[in-house]
């Protein structure tokens, strides 16, 4: 497969030519219509039939149809210069069918059931939905595990990420890599400076920070109108008790003891983390109506200078900074992930390490040669030339060159025209270590540093790579028992004894069965 690892130099030249033409067009939404065809200058030196694994290709662009989630504002015209540059470099013709992210997952099961599938199908989150597992069992998608070693970029992906998405030892799609641990407390650094305090290193110092943000007028406006942490009660919108529990020594949702699976809620450290949240509520360090707050309200409290801390992921700190500065131009934003417990231990809960997977249906990818050609396309997106395009966009429109480095000049246009339609849906390998250096917001540099540091302290969830039929069928219903009990305990509606009885109800309602099924699957070696 030497050809699968080789790229003709002409393809890079064609990209450079196309980008130069795009700059000259001053952001015109339509580039040279012939850029994706074999008549493009130097196209004959691009990926050959041997390189693609498809003897019938003969240097013609290889057409790839895709179904992708889209979280941007406007779905791009396929003739835009960014897509043309991707197509030229990879010698492909892309037909991408976008669906808004909020609707995508609910429509995916219908799409798969229809059998009328494009060549690439994206899926959000962990691939454990029952309809996906049924599709895997029925051989709907290719197992790509035997081919990954043939692709230099795809084979470099952290094996733990591949393990987390595997099903019965097979890999039915490419994971879209993201850091294994990237949750962070994003905070008003100017408030901390005003109070003469340092970034917290321990859970108790974090509590002191939140208390000062409520009681010591951190914004110096002479009013008692601020509080510590803006948090909500919807999925992913605030630190779960497990986040504090992990710091204190609890497992990340599940742990294995002598072959048995133990849920975190049955450990003293988890309860201690829950009591920490209760303390924050009782002292007014989180909003009294946190249980009713949705994401826009929660983010609005931070944006509008009411709360000094918000819990999200490292990559959104720059966005929060821009939103806060729109109201408070002198504001400063920073963030941290790691807090030490009273033993000095640093721990952070790990995640799947991917934002869904890209699957390849056998009904539309009919041969091994076609599969290899598509895998080559995704491998090429992690080449330096494509990394620069996906990270910096087009010079003169999205970025500029300054002192030999890239610098973003239109972040909003880049997000809408590059990040949402191409970078986030398509790229498999994280590009931080591949892209050319740039002049970036210090928060972006810190994001890279923090997520790298977090790797040392990740506590993994052992159920990422194993299955429970009961959890697949009833997981949402059963998790609600825990969530409701936690909220009521934090707000003082129920006491500790009642909370513990609710955890027992979770066990008898199906939790015990889930633990048993995880243990059985673990024993089979699927870990």
The pLDDT of residue 476 is above 60 = yes
Neighbour-count burial for 466-495, b at 16+ CB within 10 Å, e otherwise: bbbebbbebeeebeebbeebbbbbbbeebe
Calpha distance 361→357 (Å, rounded): 13
Encode pLDDT of 117-160 as tens digits.
999 999 987 788 889 999 999 999 999 999 999 999 999 998 88
pTM for the whole thing?
0.77
When comparing pLDDT for 66 and 413, which is higher?
66
| DSSP characters over 210-260 | HHHHHHS-TT-SSS---EEEE--SSTTSS--HHHHHHHHT--SSEEEETTE
> 174 with 313, same domain?
no
Sign of the CA dihedral running 361, 365, 367, 371: negative
For residues 342-365, average pLDDT = 93
d(CA 51, CA 59): 10
- Tokens for 386? 């494509």
Whether 196 and 335 map to the same domain: the answer is yes
Degrees to nearest 5, angle at CA 467 with 107 and 179: 70
Whether 389 and 285 map to the same domain: the answer is no
Last residue of a domain, one of 464, 479, 502: 464
pLDDT per residue as tens digits for the range 268-277: 999 999 999 9
The last residue of one of the domains, among 416, 434, 452, is 434
Arithmetic mean of pLDDT, 440-458:
92
Residue 218, Cβ density class (10 Å: 0-12 exposed, 13-18 middle, ≥19 buried): buried
How much is the mean pLDDT over the chain? 86
Same domain, 377 and 429: yes
pLDDT band at 295 (very low <50, low <70, confident <90, very high): confident
Give the domain extent around 302: 182-349+441-464
CB 406 within 8 A of CB 436: yes
DSSP strand pairing (438-439 vs 405-408): parallel
- Rounded CA-CA distance 248/276 in Å is 10
pLDDT of residue 524: 84
Is residue 261 within 8 A of residue 519, CB to CB? The reply is yes
Do 51 and 3 meet the contact criterion of CB atoms below 8 Å apart? yes
Q: Are residues 368 and 388 in the same domain?
A: yes
Task: Please indicate, yes or no, whether residues 151 and 235 belong to a single structural domain of this protein.
Answer: no
CATH number for the domain that contains residue 234: 3.40.190.10
Q: Is the dihedral of CA 439, 444, 446, 449 positive or negative?
A: negative
Residues 142 and 228 in one domain: no
**Residues 148, 9 share a domain:** yes
What is the SS3 assignment for 96? Answer: strand
Sign (positive/negative) of CA torsion 77, 79, 81, 83? positive
Could you tell me if 196 and 159 lie in one domain? no
Residues 287 and 404 occupy one common structural domain: no
For residue 496, the SS3 value is helix
Domain boundary residue among 385, 414, 434?
434
In angstroms, rounded to a whole number, what is the distance separating the alpha carbons of residues 315 and 317? 6
In terms of domains, do 258 and 395 share one?
no
Residue 249 has pLDDT above 70, yes or no: yes
Do 407 and 449 fall within a single domain? no
CB atoms within 10 A of CB 445: 11
Q: What distance in Å separates the CA atoms of residue 255 and residue 81, rounded to the nearest whole number?
A: 49
What count of residues does the chain have?
527
Confidence at 240, pLDDT banded by 50, 70, 90: low
Task: Count up the domains in the chain and report the number.
Answer: 3
Phi and psi angles of residue 334, each rounded to the nearest 5 degrees, phi first? -150, -175
């Amino acid at each position: 497969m030497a050809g699968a690892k080789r790229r003709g130099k002409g393809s890079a030249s064609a990209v450079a030519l196309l980008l130069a033409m795009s700059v000259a067009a001053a952001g015109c939404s339509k580039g040279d219509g012939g850029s994706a065809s074999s008549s493009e200058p130097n196209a004959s030196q691009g990926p050959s039939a041997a390189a693609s694994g498809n003897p019938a290709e003969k240097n013609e662009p290889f057409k790839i149809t895709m179904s992708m989630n889209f979280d941007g504002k406007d779905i791009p015209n396929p003739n835009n210069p960014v897509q043309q540059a991707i197509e030229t470099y990879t010698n492909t013709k892309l037909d991408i069918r976008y669906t808004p992210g909020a609707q995508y997952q609910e429509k995916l099961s219908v799409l798969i059931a229809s059998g009328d599938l494009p060549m690439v199908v994206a899926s959000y989150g962990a691939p454990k939905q029952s309809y996906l597992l049924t599709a895997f069992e029925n051989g709907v998608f290719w197992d790509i595990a035997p081919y990954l070693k043939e692709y230099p970029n795809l084979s470099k992906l952290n094996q733990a990420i591949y393990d987390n998405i595997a099903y019965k030892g097979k890999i039915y799609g490419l994971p879209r890599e993201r850091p294994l641990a990237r949750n962070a407390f994003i905070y008003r650094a100017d408030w901390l400076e005003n109070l003469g305090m340092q970034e917290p290193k321990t859970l108790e110092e974090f509590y002191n920070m939140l208390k000062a943000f409520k009681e010591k007028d951190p914004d110096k406006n002479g009013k008692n109108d601020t509080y510590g942490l803006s948090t909500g009660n919807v999925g992913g919108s605030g630190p779960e008790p497990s986040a504090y529990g992990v710091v204190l020594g609890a497992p990340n949702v599940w742990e294995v003891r002598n072959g048995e699976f133990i849920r975190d809620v049955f450990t003293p450290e988890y309860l201690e983390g829950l009591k920490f949240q209760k303390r924050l509520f009782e002292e007014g360090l989180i909003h009294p109506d946190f249980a009713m707050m949705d994401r826009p309200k929660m983010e609005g409290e931070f944006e509008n200078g009411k709360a000094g801390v918000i819990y999200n992921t490292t990559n959104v700190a720059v966005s929060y900074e821009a939103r806060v500065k729109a109201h408070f131009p002198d504001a400063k934003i920073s963030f941290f992930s790691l807090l030490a417990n009273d033993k000095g231990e640093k721990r952070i809960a790990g995640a799947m390490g991917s934002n869904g997977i890209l699957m390849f249906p056998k009904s539309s990818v009919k041969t091994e040669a076609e599969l290899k050609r598509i895998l080559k396309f995704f491998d090429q997106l992690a080449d330096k030339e494509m990394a620069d395009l996906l990270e910096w966009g087009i010079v003169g429109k999205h970025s500029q060159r300054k002192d030999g480095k890239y610098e973003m000049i239109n972040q909003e246009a880049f997000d809408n025209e590059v990040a949402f339609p191409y970078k986030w849906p398509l790229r498999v390998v994280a590009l931080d270590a591949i892209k050319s250096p740039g002049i970036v917001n210090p928060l972006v540099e810190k994001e890279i540093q923090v997520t790298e540091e977090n790797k040392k302290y990740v506590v993994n969830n052992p159920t990422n790579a194993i299955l429970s039929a009961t959890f697949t069928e009833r997981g949402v219903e059963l998790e609600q028992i825990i969530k409701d009990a936690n909220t009521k305990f934090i707000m003082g509606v129920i006491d500790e004894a009642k909370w513990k009885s609710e955890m027992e109800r979770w066990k008898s309602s199906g939790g015990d069965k889930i633990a048993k099924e995880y243990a059985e699957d673990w024993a089979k070696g699927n870990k």
